[in-house]
A and B are shown apart, each in its own frame.
Chain A
Amino acid sequence: MERTIFTQIVNREKDIEAVADGYKTKINHELWLADGLQKDAIQNCWDVRSDKKHGKNWECGFLLMKIDNKEVLCISDKGTTGLNGTKFYTPNELTKILEKISNESQRGEDLACFLNSNWSSKSIEEGGNRGRGKTLFLVASQSKNVFFESLRSTDNSYVFGEFYLDTADKQVKFSLHYDDDGKAMLKSELGEKISPITEYGTKIFILNPDTAVTQAIKSGELISFISNSRWETIRKYEAKIFVDDGNEKKYANLPYWYENELKGVEEKEFSPEIIKDGTEYKIKRLVLRYAPNLNVPDSIRGIAIQRGGMTIERIPAEELVKEQGMTDIYGWLEMESKPLEEEMKIRCEGPEHFNFTWTLNPARYLRNHIQSKIREFAKDLKIIESEQAKKNKIQKTAEEEALKLLTPLFKKLGLFGKHKGKRKKKGLSRKKNEPLRLSVPDMEFPRDDKRVNYGEKINGTYVVPINEFGESILVLVRVFIVSADGKTEMLQEKEINLHTGEGPRIGPDEIAISKKYKAGGYSLRARMIALENKDKILPDGVKIEKGTILYERVNQKFYVEINPPESGPFEFQPKGKDDKSYLFEWEQEGDGYIIYYNELHPRIKPLLNDGEGLRDYFAEQGSLLALQIKLEELIADDDKEDKDFTKLVKGKDASAVYKLFLNRHSEFLWSLKE
Chain B
Amino acid sequence: MVIKIRKKNKSKETVQYKSAKKILTPQDIKEADRFDDALNQEIQEIEKVLLKEKMLTPEARKSNMLGAWYLIGTRINNFLKKYKVSSEEENLFWDHLYGRSSLISKTAPTSKISKTRNDFRIASLLAHHPITKLEKIELWALWREIITYKAFKDERVLDWVIKKLEQSPPKTRNEGRPFLKAVSKRLKRIDTTVLSDKELIVKLNEVTRW
- Give a binary string over B16-28; 1 marks a CB under 8 Å from any A CB, 0 the rest: 0000101101110
Cβ of A547 and Cβ of B29 under 8 Å apart?
no
Q: How many A-B residue pairs have CB under 8 A?
A: 53
Docked complex: B188-205 residues within 8 A CB-CB of A: 189-192, 194-195, 199, 203
- B192's partner among A385, A527, A547, A590 (CB-CB below 8 A) is A547
CB atoms of B30 and A382 under 8 A apart: yes
- Structural contact, B194 and A546, CB atoms closer than 8 A: yes
A318 within 8 A of B: no
- With both beta carbons as reference points, the residue of chain A lying nearest to B192 in the complex is identified as A547
Residues of A near B27 (CB, < 8 A) are: 325, 382-383
In the complex, chain A residues 257-292 whose Cβ is within 8 Å of any chain B Cβ: none
Pick from B25, B26, B112, B191: contact of A527, CB below 8 A.
Answer: B191
Any B CB within 8 A of the CB of A529: yes
**Could you tell me if B195 and A547 are in contact, using CB atoms closer than 8 angstroms?**
yes
Minimum Cβ distance to chain B for residue A605 (Å): 21
B22→A549 contact, CB < 8 A: no
B88: Cβ under 8 A from any A Cβ: yes
A382-B29 in contact given A485-B86, A520-B86 (Cβ < 8 Å)? yes
Please, which residues of chain A bring their CB within 8 A of the CB of B189? 542, 548-549
- Chain B residue numbers with a CB within 8 Å of A393 are 23
Contact status of A547 and B26, CB under 8 A, knowing A484-B86, A486-B87, A520-B86: no
Instruction: Collect the chain B residues with CB atoms within 8 Å of residue A546's CB.
Output: 194-195, 199
Residues of B within 8 A of A601 (CB): none
Q: Which of A486, A527, A549 has its CB near the most chain B CB atoms (within 10 A)? A: A549
Question: Given A529-B191, A547-B194, A547-B195, A400 and B87 touching (CB < 8 A)?
Answer: no
> Among the listed A399, A485, A547, A565, which residue makes an inter-chain contact with B190, where contact means beta carbons less than 8 Å apart?
A547
A511 within 8 A of B: no
> Does A512 interact with chain B (Cβ within 8 Å)?
no
A389 to B24, CA, bound (A): 9
Q: Considering the chains assembled together, what is the distance between the CA atoms of A382 and B199 in angstroms?
A: 60
For B87, the closest partner residue in chain A by CB is A485
Q: Mark A347-388, 1 if CB is under 8 A from B, else 0.
A: 000000000000000000000000000000000001101100
Interface size of B by CB at 8 A reads: 20
Q: Please, how many angstroms separate the alpha-carbon atoms of A486 and B87 in the complex?
A: 7
Contacting pair B190 A548 (CB below 8 A): yes
Compute how far the CA of A325 lies from the CA of B26 in the bound complex, rounded to whole angstroms.
Answer: 12
Name B25's contact: one of A385, A476, A545 (CB within 8 Å). A385
Is A496 an interface residue, CB under 8 A from the partner? no
Q: Point out the residues of chain B lying under 8 angstroms from A548, CB to CB.
A: 189-191
With both chains docked as a complex, state the minimum distance between the C-beta of B10 and any C-beta of chain A, in angstroms: 17
List residues of chain B with CB within 8 A of the CB of A386.
26
Chain A residue nearest to B200 in the complex (CB): A547
What is the bound-complex CA distance between A527 and B189, given in angstroms? 12
Interface residues of A in 545-566 (CB under 8 A from B): 545-549, 565
Whole-angstrom CA separation of A542 from B186 in the bound complex: 11
A396 adjacent to chain B (CB < 8 Å): yes
With both chains docked as a complex, state the minimum distance between the C-beta of B157 and any C-beta of chain A, in angstroms: 12
A549 to B191, CA, bound (A): 6
Q: How far is the CA of A382 from the CA of B34 in the complex (A)?
A: 14
Q: Bound state CA distance, A400 and B21, in angstroms?
A: 11
- Cα A111 to Cα B114 with chains together (Å): 87
* Proximity string of chain A (518-542) to chain B, C-beta cutoff 8 Å, 1 when within and 0 when not: 0010000001010100000000001
> Closest chain A residue to B84 by CB distance?
A485
The answer to whether the Cβ of A397 comes within 8 Å of any Cβ in the partner chain is yes
- Cα A399 to Cα B86 in complex, Å, equals 24
Residue of A nearest to B190 (CB): A547
Question: Across the interface, do A385 and B87 meet the contact criterion of CB distance under 8 Å?
Answer: no
How far does the alpha carbon of A547 sit from the alpha carbon of B26 in the complex, in Å?
51
Chain A residues with CB under 8 Å of B203's CB are 545, 547
**Smallest CB–CB gap between B124 and chain A, Å?**
13
For residue A540, give the distance in angstroms from its CB to the closest CB of chain B: 9
Contacts of B88 in A (CB 8 A): 484
Report the minimum CB–CB distance from A33 to chain B (whole Å).
42
How close is A523's CB to chain B, nearest CB, in angstroms? 12
B86 and A396 contacting across the interface, CB-CB below 8 Å: no
Chain A residues positioned under 8 Å from B112 (CB to CB)? 590
Decide: A397 and B23 in contact? CB cutoff 8 A: yes
- A615, chain B: closest CB distance, angstroms: 14
For residue A639, give the distance in angstroms from its CB to the closest CB of chain B: 25
Q: Which residues of B contact A397 (CB under 8 A)?
A: 23
Shortest CB-to-CB span from B93 to chain A, Å, is 12
Residues of B within 8 Å of A590, CB to CB, are: 112
List the B residue with the shortest CB-CB distance to A566: B22
Residues B152-205 near A (CB distance < 8 A) = 189-192, 194-195, 199, 203
Cα-based distance from A546 to B189 in the complex (angstroms): 10
Docked-complex contact B191 and A547, CB < 8 angstroms = yes
- Whether A385 contacts B23 by the Cβ 8 Å rule is no
The distance from the CB of A484 to the nearest CB of chain B, in whole angstroms, is 5
A476 to B190, alpha carbons, bound, how many Å?
Answer: 13
Rounded to whole angstroms, the CA-CA distance of A529 and B199 in the bound complex is: 15
Q: How far is the CA of A319 from the CA of B204 in the complex (A)?
A: 70
Q: Is the CB of A396 within 8 A of B194?
A: no
| CB-defined contacts of B192 to chain A, threshold 8 Å | 547
- Across-interface contacts of B191 in A (CB, < 8 A): 527, 529, 547-549
Q: B190 — which chain A residues lie within 8 A by C-beta?
A: 545, 547-549
Indicate the member of B20, B22, B195 with the most A CB atoms within 10 Å. Answer: B22
Which B residues lie within 8 Å of A486 (CB)?
87
Chain B positions 75-119 with a Cβ under 8 Å from a chain A Cβ: 86-88, 112
Contacts of B194 in A (CB 8 A): 476, 529, 531, 546-547
- Quick one: which of A449-478 are within 8 Å of B by CB? 476
User: How distant is A482 from chain B, measured CB to nearest CB, in Å?
Assistant: 10
Across the interface, which residues of B come within 8 angstroms of A531, CB to CB? Answer: 194
> Which A463-513 residues sit within 8 Å CB-CB of chain B?
476, 483-486
Alpha-carbon distance between A397 and B21 when the two chains are bound, in angstroms: 12
Q: How far is the CB of B204 from chain A (nearest CB, A)?
A: 12
Report whether A396 and B23 are in contact in the complex, using a CB–CB cutoff of 8 Å. Answer: yes
CA distance A87 to B81 in the complex (A): 74
Given A485-B87, A546-B199, A547-B194, 8 extra CB contacts under 8 A: A383-B26, A396-B22, A400-B22, A484-B86, A485-B86, A531-B194, A547-B203, A549-B189
Give the interface of A toward B (CB within 8 A).
Answer: 325, 382-383, 385-386, 389, 393, 396-397, 399-400, 476, 483-486, 520, 527, 529, 531, 542, 545-549, 565, 590
- The residues of B with any CB-CB pair to A shorter than 8 Å are 20, 22-23, 25-27, 29-30, 86-88, 112, 189-192, 194-195, 199, 203
Q: List 10 A-B contacts (CB under 8 A).
A: A382-B27, A383-B26, A393-B23, A396-B23, A484-B87, A529-B191, A529-B194, A546-B195, A547-B194, A547-B195
Which 3 A-B pairs have CB atoms at the shortest separation, nearest pair first? Answer: A382-B26, A485-B87, A547-B190
